[in-house]
A and B are shown apart, each in its own frame.
Chain A
């Protein structure tokens, strides 16, 4: 009883803070790098609200929602468990290859180490390796080379201790260039493997 009373007093003090929030709540978080995303709230009844500032929020119940001011501390409290359970964000890497070869260019070797570290720091990793080529050579040969590049990366990761079943490979040949070129043009930026680590 006493607890309930002090809670009411506390709510009064915090003025529509944590305790004042209605059952349904939406809060936009700031993004890395200072950018802010946005969420459009379409309630079952009433007009839509766009939340597009850090910690912009709406709350409501029974089909209605309205903008509300929240403070970071209370958001941290209400969503503590969900925030703590957020997965490590996926990361993508691009590694470049010598012409006609499945051998990395020198400057991509440290990137490979970064890929390995990124996989190793996850308890549950899921890795997709996609190989590409430039347009020198036949389409069919480039399909083979693209896959060969991806497989080379997979095998090196396995040698360093990453479980084979966490790594999927594919080759896209010369079909998805980063830099569009005419056929038979040598383009280092297109001789690449993209590795996404989830």
Chain B
């Protein structure tokens, strides 16, 4: 009886997913050359494409891309930009989570979401020079080529 209820509970609380398991966000816009490096493969990123933890999103000299994540945070990449989505964890019920990205070079416009609202600085952007702890909400980052 209890076990049965537990199963029902687990099913009900499971994250609703138009997205597949492991998807953490979606490419909303992509202009010029935009690609996703995933497990050694290079994929062309088109609008609608889902992104996953450990994906590396890159834009070419004429490229730009906008991504919205599961916690409602957003990131937009300017040209010649490489952004690694190193870690993303988010509980849609408690809003607890962690989001770590690394900007190797390029420009980035960030808007934090529910993760930061719940836990300030649980979102970080690492550049070759610094780690940025995000308390909210909107900011810009440029990382020069080293």
Contacts and interface: CB of A to CB of B under 8 A. Distances in A.
Given A81-B107, A82-B76, A40 B142 contact: no
A27 interface: yes
B6 interface: no
Contacts of A166: 18
A85 B130 contact: no
Would you list the 9 A-B pairs with minimal beta carbon distance, nearest first? A23-B144, A82-B78, A37-B136, A168-B16, A85-B76, A87-B28, A170-B16, A81-B78, A38-B135
A163 B108 CA distance: 31
Contact of A170 (B12, B65, B141, B143): B12
Interface in A11-40: 22-31, 37-40
B26 A124 contact: yes
Nearest to A122: B28
Give the interface size class of chain A. 35 or more
Nearest to B30: A85
Contact of A62 (B66, B72, B129): B129
A143 B14 CA distance: 13
Given A84-B64, A87-B66, A87-B67, A26 B140 contact: yes
Interface in A31-61: 31, 37-44, 51-52, 58, 60-61
B112 interface: yes
Interface of A: 22-31, 37-44, 51-52, 58, 60-65, 75, 78-90, 122-124, 126-130, 140, 143, 147, 165-173, 176, 196, 198
Interface in B1-53: 8, 12-19, 26-29, 31, 47-48
Contacts of B121: 40
| Interface residues of chain A: helix, strand, loop or mixed (majority) | mixed
Given A28-B139, A41-B130, A83-B109, A124 B48 contact: yes
B68 interface: yes
B66 A85 contact: yes
22 contacts: A22-B144, A23-B143, A23-B144, A24-B144, A29-B139, A37-B134, A37-B136, A37-B137, A80-B78, A82-B81, A83-B76, A85-B31, A85-B76, A85-B77, A85-B109, A89-B111, A124-B47, A126-B18, A143-B12, A168-B16, A169-B16, A170-B14
A67 to B, nearest CB: 13
